Amino acid sequence: MGGGPVAAGSGIGSGERKNTFAGLIMVCFSAFGGILFGYDTGVISGVKEMPDWLATFGHPTGDPTKPFAISSSTESLVVSILSAGTFFGALLGAPVADFIGRKYGIVFASLIFSIGVAMQTASTAIPLFVVGRVFAGLGVGLVSCLAPMYQSECAPKWIRGAVVSLYQWAITIGILLAAVINNATHLNTDHSSYRIPTAIQFVWAFVLAGGMLFLPESPRWLIKRGNDDAAAKALSHLTGYPANDPTVEADLQEIRDNLEEEKALGESSYLDCFRSSKNRIALRTWTGIAIQAWQQLTGINFIFYYGTTFFNQSGITNSFLITIATGIVNVFMTLPGIWGVERFGRRRLLLVGAAGMCVCEFIVAIVGVTISVENLAGQRVLIAFVCIYIAFFAATWGPIAWVITGEIFPLQVRAKAMSLSVASNWLWNFGIGYATPYLVNSGAGNANLQVKVFFIWGSTCFCCILFTYFCVPETKGLSLEQIDLMYQNTLPINSLKYRARLLEESQHEGKH
């Protein structure tokens, strides 16, 4: 790479489309980690509305239509404390990734997650349930940093963006699975109503940890640890070439060269992520932090954390079924995003997605404040535009935020900058999860915004448009070496022209 250290996730296979199907399956499997977060997001949305859970953990209300309830403070704590755990888990992602590797880091995270699930399943009081969610959050936070890192380091360059997008797709599948299982058990009159959906998370953790044991470690991490023979074998498994093939050796040599450049610069710290430099490391770090923050500020987790409650308050009778419907939209509309990220590019889809979400959320807010909860046609309009809003998110900001954070960092600060970006996601996730009950609920100490909260989400989506236009470069089809050159020589707002120049130069060099 010219001009500076390369990011560790430049893809494998020298850009050749000869990677074996087995290799692609290996890399895609690590996306299963997204199910851990997605399922937990969806399951808590339904569990906290189940009659037996409310009777076990809540307080009597004296209202025969809803005999038990929890306070806004308890609801905030139960929902948002997972994100507090994930924040610290994401920060731990960098040292874990560098010390025990990407592969065993994911296995370790699954074990921590399982401890949290055990606590939640066994609990009959809020304290143990909350502690369990903290441990589950630590595991999810680690996975959310390590899985995209593993994918971007092991995926072939020509499909890197789509492969990393699979992590977001796994999140959506987890949310849908939780909605289906919640709907199946929510009317049970004993503790099985919430224990079954909670305990099923053991299955996801076991499948992820067991599967990762059979996958190769990241060749880049192995080279960094001085284990060249193991790196050659790992690259061979991922590409289908023999370990002694010249193509494998060329890729390994490129990694070695990049590491030599990194060593010449010295060991990096978190502070180095924010230093001014020739290749704009500070700008890249802030871009990663900000894109994860704006992803949360689109308001999407309002629907998936509080959707069941929101639809109940809006007069919709079967809120559990509506949650399944929104989950189905989320899953299937992520697929066009996975395809489109390599077809249309990152920047364009982020702009279109932010604009679409902005319009839909303002429509939901306006419809919500102008009709009564008894107006059936109005409720159908509200549901329809919530689903369209979810579709825009799922096809754009959902997967592409993870693609961007997997691509824009140079190797010398890669693990630390990624952990900062993902920690930003969880910090805002926690803040939104904690504040939402106080914003939307009625009663003393609450803002009672209800559906008017969508005016806030619409405004933040408009800010997403501005952020993307000025701060996010177009990286489609570029190696991470070329992305580094782009940051050295131009600004994100001019990235389309510079990207075309880089691709033209690359094609010209390939003919000679």
Query: Rounded to whole angstroms, how far apart are CA atoms 274 and 285?
Result: 7
312 CB burial (10 A radius; 0-12, 13-18, 19+): middle
Does residue 5 register a pLDDT over 90?
no
- The model carries a pTM of 0.80
- Average pLDDT (80-90) is 86
Asked which of 28-37, 149-158, 376-385 is least confident by mean pLDDT, the reply is: 149-158
- Average pLDDT (18-47) is 76
Residue 512 pLDDT class (50, 70, 90 cuts)? low
The rounded mean pLDDT for the chain is 85
- Average pLDDT (243-264) is 79
- Average pLDDT (188-213) is 93
Measured in whole angstroms, the distance separating CA 344 from the mean position of its chain's CA atoms is 21
Query: Rounded to whole angstroms, how far apart are CA atoms 405 and 418?
Result: 6
Does residue 489 register a pLDDT over 80?
yes
- What's the pLDDT at 285? 95
- What's the pLDDT at 13? 52
Query: Rounded to whole angstroms, how far apart are CA atoms 503 and 498?
Result: 9
Residue found by looking up tokens 């192995």 in the block: 222
The pLDDT tens digits of the residues spanning 70-79 come to 988 998 899 8
Asked which of 157-161, 236-240, 266-270, 309-313 is least confident by mean pLDDT, the reply is: 157-161
492 against 30, higher pLDDT: 492
- What's the pLDDT at 141? 87
Percent of the chain with pLDDT over 70: 91
CB 92 within 8 A of CB 422: no
Residue 393 pLDDT class (50, 70, 90 cuts)? very high
399 against 193, higher pLDDT: 193
- What's the pLDDT at 457? 95
- What's the pLDDT at 14? 47
- Average pLDDT (262-284) is 82
- What's the pLDDT at 314? 67
Residue found by looking up tokens 């990011």 in the block: 7
Does residue 387 register a pLDDT over 70?
yes
Does residue 3 register a pLDDT over 50?
no
Percent of the chain with pLDDT over 90: 34
Asked which of 140-144, 317-321, 453-457 is least confident by mean pLDDT, the reply is: 317-321
CB 122 within 8 A of CB 128: yes
Does residue 166 register a pLDDT over 90?
no
45 against 389, higher pLDDT: 389
The pLDDT tens digits of the residues spanning 313-334 come to 666 667 788 888 888 999 999 8
DSSP 412: G
- Average pLDDT (322-347) is 89
What count of other Cβ atoms lies within 10 Å of the Cβ of residue 503? 14
- What's the pLDDT at 241? 80
- Determine what percent of the chain falls in helix, strand and coil, rounding each to the nearest 5: 80, 0, 20
CB 109 within 8 A of CB 86: no
Cβ burial 189-208 (10 Å sphere, 16+ → b, else e): eebebbbebbebbeebbeeb
- Average pLDDT (227-243) is 84
Asked which of 159-173, 183-197, 318-332 is least confident by mean pLDDT, the reply is: 159-173
Q: How many alpha carbons fall within 13 Å on the CB side of residue 203?
A: 10
- What's the pLDDT at 79? 87
Q: Looking at mean pLDDT, say which of 115-119, 423-427, 451-455 comes out highest.
A: 115-119
DSSP 60: E
- DSSP notation for 103-140: HHHHHHHHHHHHHHHHHHHH-SSHHHHHHHHHHHHHHH
Residue 7 pLDDT class (50, 70, 90 cuts)? very low
Asked which of 6-20, 106-120, 175-189, 448-462 is least confident by mean pLDDT, the reply is: 6-20
- Average pLDDT (269-282) is 87
Q: Which residues pair with 156 in a beta bridge?
A: 12
- What's the pLDDT at 83? 84
- Average pLDDT (216-228) is 88
